[in-house]
Amino acid sequence: MKNLFDIKNKVIVITGGCGILGKNIANYLAEQGSKIVILDRVEEAGRELEAELNRKSEALFLVTDVLNKEV
């Protein structure tokens, strides 16, 4: 029987990924084998989270402001 909630090797994008909730979600998903893309405005925190997640799975951080249409 196929596991309907298997997220191993799925790419998941998290906006606001450096906040408390986003960071916890990202860690859980990485532990489950997902590939994580973190979007946030805070580069230093994003790079730290990216390094932490890469020890568990694959992760990429991109500096992004989803509220700014100009960027």
pLDDT tens digits along 23-69: 999 999 999 999 999 999 999 999 999 999 999 999 999 999 988 88
- Please report which confidence band the pLDDT of residue 5 belongs to, taking 50, 70 and 90 as the band edges: confident
Local structure of residue 65 (DSSP, 8 states): -
Q: What is the pLDDT of residue 1?
A: 61
**pTM score, whole prediction:** 0.86
* Helix 20-31 with 43-54: angle, nearest 10 deg: 20
- Please report which confidence band the pLDDT of residue 71 belongs to, taking 50, 70 and 90 as the band edges: low
Region of residue 33 (phi > 0: left; psi between -120 and 50: alpha; otherwise: beta): left
Would the pLDDT of 3 be above 80?
Answer: no
Tell me if 12 sits within 8 A of 35, measured CB to CB. Answer: yes
